[in-house]
Structure 1
Amino acid sequence: MLSRLALRNAQKLPAVASSTQALATEAPTFSRPVRAEKGGAVRMGFIPDEWFTFFYPKTGVTGPYTFGVGLTTYLVSKEIYVLEHEYYTGLSIAIMLIYATKKFGPVLASYTDKWNAEYLDELNGARNDEIKTMEDAIAAEKDAQWRAEGQTLLMEAKRQNIAMQLEAAYRERMAKVFSEVKKRLDYQAQVQVVERRIGQKHMADWIISNVLKSITPEQEKATLQQCLVDLQGMAAKN
């Protein structure tokens, strides 16, 4: 039977290897191991249930018990296992262990479960504190990112404010340049007007002075006499 079991496991090895290769090619997944709260199923208080179910495909439900009774009978009848005083001592110890297990097992189990629960609560508390710390750090990082975005907006507003100030200073200087240029142009226009007036006055004075210089006293006297004659003639007509 053991050879058949070994042969069956050997036949399953390629499939296991192929499944292992398939899992290796897939993306790694890390599942958190969970500790079993209770042990596996047993029969008669200490024999694993797998030892019984192993016989079911070949011998049926009664196979394990038949195998156990037959093996025990064979060992005792052939004196491979001798029922000496150590056997009865072991049987007595087994009975005491079973009694102690039945009597003190639940109390000890409740105590260990309580201690285990407290230990798990302590571990989970530390884990939850660490998670809370990480969550607080994430929240602080998000708040810092939000504040950084606010700083970006503030810098943009300051940049626009500086641009407006530069534009206002530029326009103020342009207005000042315009005013100064206008003042200089107005000054040049007034200078030209004054120069023209001075030139005209000088020209008129020069002409008058030259005309007066060209008139002799006789011409002046004759002209004066002619003016008096003209006035007398105009007075006679009136």
Structure 2
Amino acid sequence: MFSRVALRSAAARQSTALVARGSASAASGSRDEVNFPRPVRGEPGKVRLGFLPEEWFQFFHSKTGVTGPYTFGVGLATYLCSKEIYVMEHEYYTGLSLLVMVVFAAKKLGPNIAAWLDKEVDTIEKDWNQSRTDTIKGLEDAVEAEKTAQWRAQGQELLIQAKKENVLLQLEAAYRERLMQTYSEVKRRLDYQLEKSNLERRLAQRQMVDWIVTNVTKAITPDQEKATLDRCIADLSALAARK
């Protein structure tokens, strides 16, 4: 019973510390791992005589020395027995025999049972820690996956930008091609108009020359033609005589 009281007091102190740590974490907004580390599994305190907490002996040691707790225990038992507060009836001897058997069982089987229980506790704690570790690992993997997704999204942005530039280049090429087509069509039509104008002018000149020649030829009489021919012969004779 004494050991249970000691364990309850230790659990109460631990819960108080956890509450204080929780309030400090809530005030700061993030957990302070240095000043407020994560709680670990508590171990039972030391005992003497198999069930008496060590703190009781330390309490007596500061006031009565080493033999104080034992003297107090023996004196208390003597007082209870002498004043018949605790009556030694037949159940007392039964309890004494049971105590001897319990002590014997604790000495013989206690270490093995304690080792088995410690192993079970370690296994349970390991499972809990493994679950926590797996959760943290899963969250870290999720963070890495999110970073990879962001990196891929940035790559998609670059790809979309490149596609936009390609579309702009295609539009520019189509614009230049259509501009060249327009220039070719306009030049062809202008060349056609120029050629048409030149042709009309040549036809008009030819028609005019033909008309003039025809009219001049019609206007020359045979006498004039003969006189002109004679004059040309005379001029040629004069030029020949000079040479």
Q: TM-score range by the shorter chain?
A: 0.7 to 0.9
Counting aligned pairs with the same residue, the percent is 57
User: How many residues align structurally?
Assistant: 220
Greater relative contact order structure (CA < 8 Å, 6+ sep)? 2
Q: Counterparts of 2:228 and 2:29 in 1: how far apart (Å)?
A: 134
Question: Which of 76, 81, 100 matches 2:105?
Answer: 100
2:84 counterpart SS class: coil
Residue 162 of structure 2, aligned match among 144, 157, 160: 157
What whole-Å deviation, never above 9, does each CA across 1:7-51 have from its counterpart, x for those lacking one? xxxxxxxxx9xxx69847444638543212x41111121111122
Residue 208 of structure 2 is matched in structure 1 by 203
1:55 match: secondary structure: helix
TM-score normalised by the chain length of structure 1: 0.73
**Structural RMSD (CA):** 3.3
* 2:225 counterpart of 1:220: yes
Q: Which amino acid aligns with 1:161?
A: N
Partner of 1:5: none
User: In structure 1, how many angstroms separate the alpha carbons of the residues matched to 2:86 and 2:242?
Assistant: 191
Q: Please identify, of 121-130 and 168-177, the stretch whose mean Cα deviation from structure 2 is larger.
A: 121-130
SS of the aligned residue for 2:39 comes to: coil
1:29-48, aligned counterparts within 5 Å? 29=31, 31-36=37-42, 38-48=43-53
Q: 1:81 aligns with which of 76, 82, 86?
A: 86
The 3 A distance-change label for structure 1 pair 56 and 118 is closer
Deviation at 1:233, TM superposition (A): 5.5
State the TM-score, normalized to the length of structure 2. 0.72
| Alpha-carbon distance in structure 2 between the residues aligned to 1:217 and 1:66 | 183
Matches within 5 A, 1:88-127: 88-127=93-132
| Cα distance in 2 for residues equivalent to 1:51 and 1:27 | 40
Shift of 1:119: 3.8
Deviation at 1:103, TM superposition (A): 0.7
What is the distance in 2 between the residues matched to 1:28 and 1:172?
65
Q: 228-237 or 197-206, which moves further after superposition?
A: 228-237
For residue 197 of structure 1, what is the amino acid of its counterpart?
Answer: R
Q: Deviations over 1:47-91 (max 9, x none)?
A: 111222233444444433333233323322322222222222222
Give secondary structure in 2 for the equivalent of 1:39.
Answer: coil
Amino acid at match of 2:79: Y
Deviation of 1:172 (Å): 2.3
